[in-house]
Amino acid sequence: MAFFDLIHTDSNTLARAGVVHTDHGDIETPIFMPVGTVGTVKGVQRRFLEEDINAQIILGNTYHLYLRPGTEILHKAGGLHRFEGWKRPILTDSGGFQVFSLTDIRKMTEEGVQFSSHIDGRKLMFTPENVMDIQREIGADIMMAFDECCPGTADYQYAKKSMERTHRWLDRCIQRFDSTPDVYDYKQHLFPIVQGCVYPELRQEAAKRLRDLDRDGYAIGGLAVGEPTEQMYDMIEVVNDILPENKPRYLMGVGTPWNILEAIERGVDMFDCVMPTRNGRNGMIFTQNGVMNLRNKKWEDDFTELDPCGTSFVDHHYTRAYVRHLIHAQEMLGLEVLSIHNLAFYLWLVGEARKNILAGDFKSWKDDITPRLMQRM
């Protein structure tokens, strides 16, 4: 069985519906993947992820899981799936973004990146080889290559050198991945990451080089890191014009509901972002009719359902006034309710996108819903 089946491409856009096949289950695309950085989606119990939100795949982060609980514990548990009790697919980021965000406490060389743990200050080293080994031990179904994360505001020469280093590291990642066995009783897959900042020629060069490697799927990295939104869309178009149609495309760290729809229109299949849970913990939710800030006084005596159009039980079990009270009282339940709502909404949104792609009316549906998603309630 192929890793990815492309079922249908929209006739008016590049939007695609497909299925990714893993040993932990199938993933219907386009898909949003909740971020479970340290082995949990923050504030959301597994039962809600499975039964209410219906997440088909979640993320873990190599940097954070390496620091704690550590690969020795994860290996003893039988991998991250068994450690956290998640039976569906998992994708791990390589930890590159986190390491490169430690600007003041890391040193980069051709060998890799030396950094200090943000927990206890230990000196540690990430190389392409040990990042592959760590992700093998974590046991993700889909692993990311170790890349250099270039700032969105980098000049051309810096971006070019960064991309070239990413490619040299990728060669080492592939050599290590291909020469080591799966640690557990299921198959793992490696995605290279297309870099190149906001420079079309660099993105084209990277996409062509990675396409020729013929891996199971491809990630698009280094976007939503400070560049204007329109440049992000332009870079997606440049890259997807080159990447093979029969492989899944994963846009890393993006974004708002309307960002996701724009990227789906341009041929992206997979997404992750902390925004649903982070914004939820700060009192903000996304709905079909716009963005709500539950901290605002206008919801103080609004006793209607949290979201009458919502798909989660929390949308119909709690009122806006009550959830606002929880947020202002700093009760944990409020943070959990809004995180669950946002994740359920994101999964509903990509599910509706898939339905409309298959029905042949994605473009009209997307153009109709996008202005409503963006308005403030």
pLDDT digits (tens, 9 = 90+) for 177-187: 999 999 999 99
Written as six digits, the tokens of 274 are 């902390």
Instruction: List beta partners, residue 284.
Output: 293
CATH topology of domain 4-273: TIM Barrel (3.20.20)
Mark whether 10 is an active-site residue. no
Query: Which of 10, 93, 147, 269 is the catalytic position?
Result: 93
Query: Which of 10, 141, 269, 272 is the catalytic position?
Result: 272
Q: Where are the domains of the chain?
A: 4-273, 274-377
Mark whether 93 is an active-site residue. yes
Q: Give residue 222's identity as a one-letter amino acid code.
A: G
pLDDT score at 118: 83
pLDDT digits (tens, 9 = 90+) for 91-111: 999 887 777 776 666 788 999
What b/e sequence results for 325-346 when a residue is b if at least 16 CB atoms lie within 10 Å of its CB, and e otherwise? ebbeeeeeebbbbbbbbbbbbb
Q: Is residue 89 exposed (0-12), middle (13-18) or buried (19+ Cβ within 10 Å)? A: buried
H-helix or E-strand spanning residue 140: none
pLDDT digits (tens, 9 = 90+) for 265-315: 999 999 999 999 999 999 999 999 999 999 999 999 999 999 999 999 999
Is the full-model pTM beyond 0.85? Answer: yes
